[in-house]
Amino acid sequence: MLLFFFAYQIYCDFSGYSDIAIGSARVLGYDLINNFNQPYLSKSIPDFWRRWHISLSTWFRDYVYIPLGGNRVGKWRWYWNIIIVFLLSGLWHGANWTFVIWGLLHGIYMLGSVWSQKLRSNIIILTGMNRFPKLHSTIQVLITFSLVCSAWVLFRAESLNDAAYIYRSAFSGTRHFLVYFYDIAYLKSIFGQLGVTQNELFIAIISIGILEIVQFIKNQRKLTSWFKLQPVWLRWTAYYLLFGIILFYGSFNSAQEFIYFQF
């Protein structure tokens, strides 16, 4: 569960200040590309990297992957090109083995996606999953999100030893957590030890839900164009509501910076 919240913390952190940059540039008359596109609704790891940090992914594609030959080379050279790109992506985030392994892991994910494509297609046909496209899509999203969250452990950990401890703790405590999942007092004690109150947990879950709803609407239509067509009273109500949320829930005295400022 903590990995779930960290996944959204780093997403909101980076996507949030990317949106600030995009909005500030638009005020000055510049249109910047969208840097995120609902990455946690990706159906595969390749799909995730088409949606996450689009500017960086595009840069690595244009200036590293394509100059190396991309997929226009032999099979094994192509696999090596993929690994090189993701290793460099890890190093770009920092000269730490955790970032290097994080990049390597995503490279392995990409190769696994390529190697298992035929097997997955056969499984889908054998299980009849192709007759339930929505269920199939949901399973794809859940598996992809789980893989991404597993890799975030390396991104968050200070060292490989810390990462190994987190992985061991996650799997060793799974059964214990499931047994007490419906014990509210037990859950409160867990989050209390982490310094998270029940209200903060509730606000976080509601906020994530609102985030996904807004992004869903944004993908269905041009949100800004749609918003301009709404009545004046509705637009100003939304403005004041957002302003109030910032005042009440904003962190103004914290010395904590955006996570991605360090990169």
pLDDT along the chain (263 residues), means of 10: 83 86 89 88 94 93 95 93 95 90 96 92 89 91 94 91 86 51 57 68 82 75 75 90 82 65 62
Residue type, 245: I
Catalytic residue at 93?
yes
What pLDDT, on a 0 to 100 scale, did the predictor assign at position 137?
92
| pLDDT computed for residue 179 by the predictor | 47
Looking at residue 260, its pLDDT comes to 64
Answer yes or no: are the C-beta atoms of 46 and 113 closer than 8 Å: yes
**What is the model's pLDDT at position 128?**
87
**Structure confidence at residue 256 (pLDDT):** 62
Query: Can you give the pLDDT at residue 242?
Result: 84
CB 89 within 8 A of CB 107: no
Burial 221-255 (b: 16+ CB within 10 A, else e): eeeeeeeeeeeeeeeeeeeeeeeeeeeeeeeeeee
Map tokens 């749609």 to a residue.
226
pLDDT of residue 177: 47
Token pair 């991605």 in the structure block, residue: 260
Query: Of residues 93, 106, 136, 176, which has the active-site annotation?
Result: 93
